[in-house]
Amino acid sequence: MAKTTASTDRSRSAKKSEPGSSAGVKDSPKRTILRATATLTLLFVTYARVPTTKETAWEELLIFAVLLAALTIGIVFEIRRILNKTHPSLRALEAMVLIFAVYLVSFSVLYLGMSHANAHAFSEPLDHISAFYFALGAATLGFGDIVTKNDASRLAVTIQIFVNIVLIVIVGRLIIGAVRRSKSSSTSS
């Protein structure tokens, strides 16, 4: 029995040190902050480069759809990464920040496109900053200084509020569950 346990321990430690194995790579807080900062910077620089003319409104809708697809894939990817990390809580925090940022930028692009396609969709024309501000306001408490003026923009805000609930309840629960599962499997090893 002691031989079996010793060989199991050796195979576990060998797996941790295999090249390409994420279990052997330690995620330090500094590395996590740098990775998240670089990703957020790239995301916001890319958002700032989204074209903003009436003729490109369909492109903004396409970008919105691509971002939502990337968000969905990213959530699955992040949960899998949390399960394989030595610091799952740190990875979960990074995942939540990145997921929320991609989510906000997605709706910012949608509102930007809606504003350029129809100048009367909102109480004022939206640029990159005001579209992000409106998306953040709709995601949280909404200040009322920029308001929707037609059914399409109201529907978009309604969808965003529904997705807020889904992100907070379902995705939050999945990420917390992944952290708990990762921690329990690492303590039982």
Is residue 58 packed enough to be buried (19+ CB in 10 Å), middle (13-18) or exposed (0-12)?
Answer: exposed
The predicted pLDDT at position 75 comes to 87
Average pLDDT over residues 33-42: 91
Phi/psi at 84 (5° precision): -105, 15
Q: Which helix (H) or strand (E) holds 85?
A: none
Q: What is the pLDDT of residue 126?
A: 93
HSE of 163, CA atoms in CB hemisphere, 13 A: 20
Whether residue 5 contacts residue 63, with contact meaning beta carbons closer than 8 Å, is answered with no
Average pLDDT of 87-101?
86
Question: Quick one: pLDDT at residue 51?
Answer: 79
Per-residue pLDDT band at 40 (split at 50, 70, 90):
very high
pLDDT at res. 15: 42
Summarised one tens digit per residue, pLDDT across range 124-155 is 999 999 999 999 987 677 778 899 999 999 99
Average pLDDT over residues 25-38: 82
* CATH level 3 topology of 59-189: Helix Hairpins (1.10.287)
The per-residue pLDDT for 16 is 43
Span of 11-20, 51-60, 155-164 with lowest mean pLDDT: 11-20
Any idea where the domains of the chain sit in the sequence?
Answer: 59-189
Does the global pTM surpass 0.85? Answer: no
Q: What's 140's DSSP letter? A: T
